[in-house]
Chains A and B, each alone.
Chain A
Amino acid sequence: MTLPQAFFAYIGGMIVVLSLLVVTRKNPVHSVMWMLLLFVHIAALYLFLNAEFLAAIQIIVYAGAILVLFLFVIMLLNLRKEETEKRFQRQWPFGAGIGVVLAVFFVLIVGKIDVIPPLGQYSIDAIRSEGHIMTVGKVLYTEFLLPFEIASLILLVAIIGAVVLAKKRVE
């Protein structure tokens, strides 16, 4: 096993283990902590793929904003009851069984795939020479301008919806 493979094996394995920890912890705050570690590992995976901008955004947006909001809500709800109640529904062995079958299936399929996709113009060297932020910015604002604007419009609609829901009703 080469060094990149070993690194990927570590990151991938840790992501699986941490995801399991997130769903199995009894205390929701502990779940969030494992999730923070999970996000850090995903960011490391992005770095490994030469996507430094995505790695930073992963931490800023997911770990810095979304997960803090999770934590905020969990703390305000004070979920002491969750800790004493049963963690899972009755059917969980069945679900786990399906999960294992699917995992085996995936492993078998992935071994069979040997098609190498055609390389585009954004090779690793091209990205390194220009910097990842600049490459992403150029692609986002030229080639994919319309999808980008549509996505921002959808987010705007969601924001307006939240404001309308949260607004005080004036009789």
Chain B
Amino acid sequence: MNITDMLWVLIKTLIAVSVLMLHVAYVVYFERKVIGHMQARLGPMRVGWHGLLQPLADGLKLFFKEDIIPSQADKPIFYIAPIIGMIATLSSLAVIPLWQGFSIANLNIGILYILALSSVGAYGIILAGWASNSKYSFLGGLRSSAQIISYEISMGLSLVGVMMLAGSANLSDIVNAQAEGWFIWYQPVACLIFVMSAIAETNRAPFDLPEAESELVAGYFTEYSGMRFGLFFMAEYAGMFIMSALGTICFLGGWNGPDLWIFASVPKIVWFLLKVYACIFIYFWLRATLPRYRYDQLMSLGWKVFIPLALANIVVTGVLKMIWR
């Protein structure tokens, strides 16, 4: 690898991270607007035109807030937990192909890499819950660790069907394999399981038990304040982006748009981002619509419904692939 290659990787990393960070800032605004309108409110309106500068104001506020550490906390782990969460989420971006040929690292184990990093990201949450030395945080951390382990299995198994159809775990190859038809039509069960598992993995409503505000104050980040809280917040929204991007790549045909002459000059990334934002909209839609699950229901849903269903899906996919080839 020579110097120009390394520079190019650096530039690509900068592009991807800045796109993601801008997204994180404005997806919070998007969420507040969407949920506001769903609940017959207006959402943020005061800062800028229709509240468009609200993310900047929120960011500034987070930067200048006091960083409070509980006196009995385990300091090194308390410091490092949000950083682990954030780094694990941001590193997943390295294998996401934003358009044809644009991914920072075109790995053959792309899907496995993302699964591995999402399991490392769970450490941020568990350790934050433990290091805060608070009952609410601790319960949130324990719930989250059990939830993430359980749903990671069903998510991994649901993606096996996609890997079988594409014949590869490389994300670019998976998108190219969907030139004739999106995998959502061939793998509807896997897609459903993936969506549910992705929501559970990112701790979003209706599976946001680790941060259930009615019982646990704020769950694992109850004791965090200022920019450390901000890191958890950003990691959650960046995680939503990664999961939506993975869903887009594996089930919705990635960067490919409609094959019409009017759209020929539209850059591929537009299609990619449109699909990602549609997925993110589903997150908000579910949050505004559904009440929170009970914890034992969540666990039995994961282990007794989704995992057997995903395994059956693998068998059926394998048999059908044998027949049709």
Contacts and interface: CB of A to CB of B under 8 A. Distances in A.
Interface of A: 27, 29-30, 33, 36, 52-53, 55-57, 59-60, 63-65, 68-69, 71-72, 75-76, 131-133
A55 B115 CA distance: 12
Interface stretch (B57-65, B117-125, B272-280): B117-125
A91 B111 CA distance: 48
Interface stretch (B35-43, B45-53, B142-150, B239-247): B142-150
Contact of B146 (A52, A72, A132): A72
Nearest to B108: A131
B231 interface: no
A75 B113 contact: no
A68 B122 contact: yes
> A29, A36, A64: which has the most chain B beta carbons within 10 Å?
A64
Contact of A60 (B76, B116, B127, B142): B116
B115 A36 contact: no
Q: Classify chain B's interface size.
A: 20 to 34
Given A36-B120, A65-B149, 6 more contacts: A29-B130, A30-B77, A60-B115, A63-B119, A71-B127, A76-B142
Interface in B175-197: none
Interface of A is mostly: helix
B119 A56 contact: no
Contacts of B127: 29, 33, 71
B112 A53 contact: yes
Contacts of A56: 109, 112-113, 115-116
B149 to A, nearest CB: 6
B109 A71 contact: no
B119 A53 contact: no
Given A52-B107, A68-B145, A29 B119 contact: no
B74 interface: yes
Contacts of B130: 29, 71, 75
B262 to A, nearest CB: 38
A64 B146 contact: no
A52 to B, nearest CB: 5
A158 B112 CA distance: 26
Nearest to A56: B112
A36 B123 contact: yes
B108 A29 contact: no
Contacts of A76: 142
